[in-house]
Amino acid sequence: MDGGGKAPELGDIVEIRCRYCRLNLDASVAAMNADGSIAKVQCRTCRHFQDYKPPIPPEQARARQMQRVMRLAQKHTGTGPRKGVSPSRTLDESPEAVARALWEEATRDAQAWKARPYDPHRSYLPDDLIAHKVHGLGVVREALEGAILVLFREGFQRLPHDVPPDDES
């Protein structure tokens, strides 16, 4: 993309948010509006023609992805908002609320796609990000001999790790 103040023309390369790749990528200008603004572009990676969408900042993309992952985790684990429970408590010092605040702090800058699927046969280290089928996204707090202490949204769980596989040969 040209760093100067020149308006883009047909065939110029611009940065876009590709709706197919779901990434900020380079694209070629394919069509212009009458006022000289970009109307259509062709992604140089997937080759799809699409309406021009400006790139989004990486922090915003990460926040969107975390929200999407958390919605999926809530859907699968049933830890979402419950009917009849008022979310407007100003200061909640219950163990669940404290664990939730710790979890939110620990996963604030986490990239959910880097989470390792939980498997009791794997080895984990403190601060590893894991994805559990039941509990959702979690952060390993302690790695002990044969067990790990993991902080999940609903609280701490002790899970086995480094379990040798059974040999049934």
Model confidence pLDDT, tens digit, residues 121-131:
999 999 899 99
Q: What is the pLDDT of residues 142-160, one digit of tens each?
A: 998 889 999 888 888 999 9
Residue 29 pLDDT > 90 = yes
- Mean residue pLDDT across the chain: 83
pTM of the model: 0.43
According to DSSP, the β-strands at 116-117 and 49-51 are unpaired
| Residue type, position 83, single letter | K
Burial, 73: exposed, middle or buried (Cβ in 10 Å; 0-12, 13-18, 19+)?
A: buried
**Domain locations in the chain?**
13-56, 96-160
Sequence length of the chain is: 169
Is the backbone of residue 12 left (phi > 0), alpha (psi -120 to 50) or beta? beta
Across 23-38, average pLDDT: 94
Give percent of the chain above pLDDT 70. 85
* Residues near 56 by beta carbon (within 8 Å), at least 6 away in sequence: 17, 24
Q: What is the pLDDT of residue 89?
A: 47
* Residues near 92 by beta carbon (within 8 Å), at least 6 away in sequence: none
156 phi/psi in degrees, rounded to 5: -85, 145
pLDDT band at 27 (very low <50, low <70, confident <90, very high): very high
